[in-house]
A and B are shown apart, each in its own frame.
Chain A
Amino acid sequence: MSAAIITHNLTRRFGDKIAVDGLTLEVRVGEVFGFLGHNGAGKTTTVRLLNGVLEPHAGKAYVLGLDPLADGPALRARTGVLTESAALDARLSGRENLLVYADLFGVPQRQSDSRVSELLDFFGLSDSADLKVAAYSTGMRQRLALARTLLHDPELLFLDEPTAGLDPLAARQTHRLIAALARQKGRTVFLCTHNLVEAQRLCDRVGVMERGRLVAVGTPTELAARYVQQVQVEIEIAAEHIEAAIELLSHASGLLTARPQPSADQAPGGPLGALSLRVTGREAIPDMLALLTRHGVRVYRLTPHEPSLEDVYFALHAGAAEPSQQEHTR
Chain B
Amino acid sequence: MNRRAVSAIARKDLKVVLQNKGVVLPILIAPLVLFGALPWMAALAPNLANVGGMNVNELRELLAHMPEGLRTEMALYTPDQQPIVFFLVYMLAPLFLILPVMTSSVMAADSFAGERERRTLETLLYTPTTDRELFVGKLLAPWLAAMVVSAVGFVLYVVMANAAAGRVMGSLFFPTLMWVVLVVWVAPAAAGFGLATMVLVSVRAQGFQDAYQVGSIVVLPLLLLLFGQISGVMYFSIGAVLLLGLGLWVTDVVLIWAGSRVFRRGRLIARS
Contacts and interface: CB of A to CB of B under 8 A. Distances in A.
Contact of B129 (A89, A91, A104): A104
Interface stretch (A95-103, A224-232, A322-330): A95-103
Contacts of A100: 8-9, 11-12
A85 interface: yes
Contacts of A14: 270
Contacts of B15: 91-92, 96
Interface in A60-100: 72-74, 76-77, 79, 81, 83, 85, 87-92, 96, 100
B50 interface: no
A91 B265 contact: no
Contacts of B12: 89, 92, 96, 100
A87 B270 contact: no
Given A89-B120, A103-B5, A81 B126 contact: yes
Contact of A76 (B122, B126, B266): B126
SS class, residues of chain B in contact with chain A:
helix
B265 A106 contact: no
Nearest to B124: A104
B119 interface: yes
A73 B19 CA distance: 31
Interface in B45-93: none
Interface residues of A, number: 31
A325 to B, nearest CB: 42
A104 B119 contact: no
A101 B120 CA distance: 12
Interface in A131-190: 148
Contacts of A106: 2, 4-5, 128
A244 interface: no
B125 interface: yes
B7 A103 contact: yes
B251 interface: no
Contacts of B184: none
A105 B119 CA distance: 19
A51 interface: yes
Nearest to A85: B119
Nearest to B15: A92
B250 interface: no
B148 interface: no
Nearest to A73: B128
B130 interface: yes
A53 B127 contact: no
A55 interface: yes
Contacts of B266: 53-55
B141 to A, nearest CB: 13
A267 B238 CA distance: 106
B37 interface: no
A206 B264 CA distance: 32
A48 interface: yes
B16 A51 contact: no
Interface in B5-43: 5, 7-9, 11-12, 15-16, 19-20
A81 B126 CA distance: 7
Contact of A48 (B11, B127, B269): B269
A105 B126 CA distance: 10
A96 B5 CA distance: 15
B121 to A, nearest CB: 8
Contact of B128 (A89, A91, A96, A105): A105
A51 B124 CA distance: 12
A51 B126 contact: yes
A260 B82 CA distance: 103
Given A54-B266, A104-B8, A87 B122 contact: yes
Report the 7 A-B pairs with minimum CB-CB distance, sorted nearest first.
A103-B8, A77-B128, A104-B127, A81-B126, A91-B19, A73-B128, A76-B128
Interface of A: 14, 48, 51-55, 72-74, 76-77, 79, 81, 83, 85, 87-92, 96, 100-101, 103-106, 109, 148
Interface of B: 2, 4-5, 7-9, 11-12, 15-16, 19-20, 118-120, 122-130, 265-266, 269-270
24 contacts: A14-B270, A48-B269, A53-B265, A53-B266, A53-B269, A54-B265, A54-B270, A55-B266, A72-B265, A73-B130, A74-B128, A83-B122, A87-B119, A87-B122, A89-B16, A89-B120, A91-B16, A96-B15, A100-B11, A101-B123, A103-B5, A104-B8, A106-B2, A106-B4
Given A100-B9, A104-B129, A106-B128, 19 more contacts: A14-B270, A48-B269, A52-B265, A54-B265, A72-B265, A73-B129, A76-B127, A76-B128, A87-B119, A87-B122, A89-B16, A90-B118, A92-B12, A92-B16, A103-B7, A104-B5, A104-B127, A106-B2, A109-B4
